[in-house]
Structure 1
């Protein structure tokens, strides 16, 4: 069944009355928008498209950021809002709800029909195809973390739904998943910690039909980078701040119109909203080993002056700590999705590959390796889902996300390596996608920020 026909009719936005009353809501209304769109019918899924190619050298481009749109300071006339914690069912049950499963099924099909076929070329040119970004926008993914009162689709915190979506998208391709999820990370941050004025100014853009490219920038190009000891600084200057430093792993940096920049303020990390038209911003191509389809870049900030209203959240580090944890949780979900892609591909390969008159899966060394991959992947998934469940309910999840990140970093890379090993010489060539998935999985332990649930 195609994801165009997977939706049920009835009720508002094609939902039953029970579903419209369900407080979690999820992205079902947005899913219906996509179902009614002819975008997928227009897209030739395997058609070769032309891209604005990033140079493969570090200095491929370096230019001032695009001026971008002017975010209306008047914004909405509604009050600000925060997503409420999800209700607990009182039992340890990580089974997705009916609405979560409905959203998940649609995203899985989008991942298989659009992301997977476009992944190899997107990795080569370091650019996400426009049709992939448009499909994610029509699905409503940028607004997944925006409160319903502000035009979004969520009444409750979306950490669990975001985790499921990130995992499903990464099964298609991690780089394209990052490119599609990056604007939603900025919207989620503003929804969680933004003031009423910040929400009114910026969030309408993420719930409309022309969602801006936006990036959450925490990482810096330093050895043994520690997100809690930043080199980028924010100095108080009159009624505002002056930002200086260099940020790395900036998704779609050349086209981004809004940045959430992490900087050290009075000895404590803090988050700042910086529009691309600010004087002193410069972007530089920074192609990476993995996650190449996300179009990573560096952002240079030289005396960038922002107002007092640019501070996102508090100045004592609480919002920043939660931001780092939610970002790490998202990377765990991406690792699970990519790891599942490796396992699915390898199982089919070892069952079909013949050696000495029988499938190589008949050999214990191969079978045991595949079994270990499945065991470790399930452990990664359960830890990630548990952390997401606690985050959605507003409970402390620092321990759970720490355990999940440690396991996903170590075992995720191992799954990628074993996948390459099981394919032998085929694992080393680009004819098979496992080498790309292995490169992507190595990003999990070193990336900070970028995505968030």
Structure 2
């Protein structure tokens, strides 16, 4: 049962029949259910010896993609899908979260602190997110955050702002685990934004049900000076569809994914394609990177992959693809803000407690100024990201805002990670403290394309 239906007014779960609740209110109700359950208590750290996982850090792997469930074709192929309305303009420049958005942030932040943060170190080593954590992320409704309410989701209006707040809150726990948890919902959101009626009716029921499939956006490529708007992966027209050839990298949870959104050039324009993992010609191998390791990053190879004519997601003129890139960059900015906040929250008490020459190192101006600079740059990153998200939610052009936000988050995010390591001195270099992992993760902001979107 989807979260929206489970908590719809009607006398269930303490919600009186006839009482109205907005979409985020439904999600908050679901989050409250999670908080009251024993699921969080059941999420324990698992020792590597007790895990049956692929450990790409040691031996790597290379295999065919996971066998996909049967996505039976539904709906009308030529009809446009359901679209959520743009968020209502407030009339003033106000980026303050609404009361319901703040409630959502508070609960997701608690989830990040109590479940995500404790699992981060082990997930980083094993290059896999714990199954219990991913199950918990499904229970709090992450896959349906951007899905229209008419299709079983919770969105009555564009959810870019809510998605940005959720991504930031999750990244305070761990950026890699945040990417792993957000990847399926990113594909569901893409279907809600650009899918036809047939595509939505075929795939979205799986994301709004109890058995949510792993899924991922595959835009990155192993190309020097890679330009995401000019991918090397090609799509060639055939009598009954298209043939895809190319290689995609840094694809989260690719070994388990049952559905990919792949970017490829068609007639000189970048286009998005829906590719089921059971399609012949797909192969996946471990592709662990410097950071974001908990997301189980993989390389996806497409060799003469045949997809039907209705596999195109959005238009073939490059507009949908460009918007996908912008929304993905917005998500990465939010992840940078969340991880940067984690750094600030960690180093501030550290420099106040760490003694050198008989006094806290925070008494040194060089240390105090460095912490202050982290706070200043972090706030500027947050404001630019929120402004871009607000314009995206309102259906306005946000290309300039997201470009500014990504440039700032990529540059200052790395600086924050570096300064965090520097402030801890020798402790910043060892894995006993999480700052070295956050530093590695923050370097991905200017590199990663796709994978997640809001």
TM interval, shorter chain, is over 0.9
Contact 1:246 / 1:301 at 8 angstroms: preserved in 2? yes
- With the length of structure 1 as denominator, give the TM-score of the two structures: 0.94
CA drift at 1:73: 1.5
Question: Take 1:206 and 1:14, find their aligned partners in 2: how far apart are those partners?
Answer: 26
Q: 1:26 to 1:374 in 2, by over 3 A?
A: farther
Structure 1 match to 2:3: none
Structure 1 match to 2:43: 43
Structure 2 match to 1:31: 31
Q: 1:20 to 1:41 in 2, by over 3 A?
A: farther
For structure 1, the 5+ residue unaligned runs are 1-6
Question: Take 1:204 and 1:187, find their aligned partners in 2: how far apart are those partners?
Answer: 10
Q: Matches of residues 372-391 of structure 1 in structure 2 within 5 Å?
A: 372-391=373-392
For structure 2, the 5+ residue unaligned runs are 1-6
Contact 1:430 / 1:436 at 8 angstroms: preserved in 2? yes
Contact 2:254 / 2:297 at 8 angstroms: preserved in 1? yes
Contact 1:25 / 1:155 at 8 angstroms: preserved in 2? no
CA drift at 1:379: 0.2
Structure 1 match to 2:89: 88
Per-residue CA distance 1:114-155 (angstroms, 9 max, x = gap): 100000000001000001100100011011110000000111
Contact 1:142 / 1:187 at 8 angstroms: preserved in 2? yes
Question: Take 1:419 and 1:51, find their aligned partners in 2: how far apart are those partners?
Answer: 34
Q: 1:32 to 1:75 in 2, by over 3 A?
A: farther
Q: Matches of residues 1-400 of structure 1 in structure 2 within 5 Å?
A: 14=14, 20-22=20-22, 25=25, 27-35=27-35, 37-44=37-44, 46=45, 48=47, 50-56=51-57, 60-74=60-74, 80-400=81-401
Contact 2:57 / 2:125 at 8 angstroms: preserved in 1? no
CA drift at 1:74: 3.0
Alignment partner of 1:249: what SS? strand
Structure 2 match to 1:446: 447
Contact 1:289 / 1:439 at 8 angstroms: preserved in 2? yes
The alignment covers a number of residue pairs equal to: 444
Question: Take 1:335 and 1:215, find their aligned partners in 2: how far apart are those partners?
Answer: 20
Alignment partner of 2:20: what SS? helix
- With the length of structure 2 as denominator, give the TM-score of the two structures: 0.94
Q: 1:330 to 1:15 in 2, by over 3 A?
A: farther
Q: 1:211 to 1:63 in 2, by over 3 A?
A: same
Question: Take 1:141 and 1:335, find their aligned partners in 2: how far apart are those partners?
Answer: 19
Per-residue CA distance 1:343-397 (angstroms, 9 max, x = gap): 0100010000001111100111100000000000000000000000000010000
Question: Take 1:146 and 1:12, find their aligned partners in 2: how far apart are those partners?
Answer: 22
Contact 1:163 / 1:333 at 8 angstroms: preserved in 2? yes
CA drift at 1:60: 1.4
